Amino acid sequence: MTLIRPLRIQHTLSNPVSVSGFGYWSGLDVRIEFRPAAIDAGITFVRADLPDQPRIPACVGNRIDLPLRTALASGTASVEMVEHIMAALASEEVDNCEVWVDRAEMPGMDGSSQAFVDALRSVSRVNQARSRARLVVTEPIRVGDETSWIEATPSHHGEYYVEYQLDYTNCPAIGRQCFGIETGRDTFANQLANARTFLLEQEAQWLRDQGLGQKVTYQDLLVFGAEGPINNTLRYEDECVRHKTLDVIGDLALAGYDLDARIVACRSGHRLNAEMVRCLLHQAKLEDDLRKSA
Ligand SMILES: [Zn+2]
């Protein structure tokens, strides 16, 4: 069973702060603005470009299935590629925040969370007078199959540990990589935030053939050929697995709670990560948090 106990206080931002870029898939310019929000408000995306400015709470019940990215929807309004933003907000412990956006697709930036962390750190974090609830994993939970799975087990000393095991034996330039970290504000900022997303050359070509990603260059993210990243340099030898770890943190943030757990993910993607969130909430009898929310 999974329990909840209050540990730390909630935070929001002192002032709005914005980030601009373009969406990888759509190529459309987009500006997002992080704005302060009230106690217990959580993270909410707001589509400022649509009539009545629809609100899309960042909860697993609002998740919709799109390939290779995490997307949320409420009614007919949606937002896509939210995982790197969610990872930044969660790791900076900005619990209550409105993310005003003027497009469906979030800016890809350099493929990492760095620009979002920098923006959040450029304003002050404000303490809010209520504790942030925490999900404590007290017995093992596992979802997936033999080849790709994600597992949550009890922590050793109240930590939130995330490990990723990556296996790209079909691309020897990536190969097998494993990375684990006790996540926190500084460890995320120093070891994960700037790890960029990656694609194989054939995947990039397939996307272009579909008319997607036309504006993306080899400098905007990592595209792996047989010899390694094409026209780009790795920031870490194991940058790929670090990015996958970042993705897990962003996806698990859809729980809406801090986690007290050891998470080990093996070849899991956004869909399986969301399945873990649902299992965690279900086992903690937080059925309300599993529903769609507007
Ligand atoms: Zn990612």
Distance 243 CA to ligand 1 centre (A): 6
Please write the tens of the pLDDT for every residue from 163-187: 999 999 989 999 999 999 999 999 9
pLDDT, position 212: 86
State how far the Cα of 25 lies from the Cα of 45, in Å rounded to an integer. Answer: 19
State how far the Cα of 25 lies from the Cα of 215, in Å rounded to an integer. Answer: 9
Distance 113 CA to ligand 1 centre (A): 9
Task: Spell out the per-residue pLDDT of the chain, length 294, in tens.
Answer: 577 777 799 999 999 999 999 999 999 999 999 999 999 999 999 999 999 999 999 999 999 999 889 999 999 999 999 999 999 999 999 999 999 999 999 999 999 999 999 999 999 999 999 999 999 999 999 999 999 999 999 999 999 999 999 999 989 999 999 999 999 999 999 999 999 999 999 999 998 898 888 899 999 999 999 999 999 999 999 999 999 999 999 999 999 999 999 999 999 999 999 999 999 999 988 888 888 887
Distance 180 CA to ligand 1 centre (A): 16
Cα dihedral sign, 275-205-238-117? negative
Its pTM stands at 0.96
Query: Is the distance from CB of 251 to CB of 279 less than 8 angstroms?
Result: no
Q: Tokens at residue 216, please?
A: 């993306």
Query: Is the distance from CB of 19 to CB of 115 less than 8 angstroms?
Result: yes
179 Cβ contact list (under 8 Å, min separation 6): 163, 164, 238, 241, 242, 244, 245
Query: Is the distance from CB of 46 to CB of 100 less than 8 angstroms?
Result: yes
Helix boundaries (H) for the chain: 83-91, 114-121, 185-191, 201-209, 239-252, 270-283
pLDDT, position 293: 82
* Sole residue written with tokens 């470009």: 49
Query: Is the distance from CB of 34 to CB of 9 less than 8 angstroms?
Result: no
Distance 263 CA to ligand 1 centre (A): 17
Q: What phi and psi values does residue 141 have, to the nearest 5 degrees?
A: -130, 140
Report the amino acid identity of residue 284: A
pLDDT, position 294: 77
Please write the tens of the pLDDT for every residue from 126-168: 999 999 999 999 999 999 999 999 999 999 999 999 999 999 9
Which residues on adjacent β-strands are paired with residue 105? 80
Q: Tokens at residue 93, please?
A: 């412990």
Please return the burial class of 55, using the count of CB atoms within 10 Å of its CB with bins 0-12, 13-18 and 19+.
middle
State how far the Cα of 290 lies from the Cα of 285, in Å rounded to an integer. Answer: 10
Please return the burial class of 273, using the count of CB atoms within 10 Å of its CB with bins 0-12, 13-18 and 19+.
buried
Distance 84 CA to ligand 1 centre (A): 6
DSSP 65-92: EETTEEEEEETTEEEE--HHHHHHHHHT
Q: Tell me, what DSSP letter sits at residue 291? A: S
* Sole residue written with tokens 């790197």: 84
pLDDT, position 1: 57
Distance 265 CA to ligand 1 centre (A): 14
Query: Per this entry, what is the length of the chain?
Result: 294
| Nearest-10 crossing angle of helices 270-283, 239-252 | 40
Q: Which residues are catalytic?
A: 270
Which residues on adjacent β-strands are paired with residue 198? 222
Distance 16 CA to ligand 1 centre (A): 24
201 Cβ contact list (under 8 Å, min separation 6): 223, 224, 225, 230
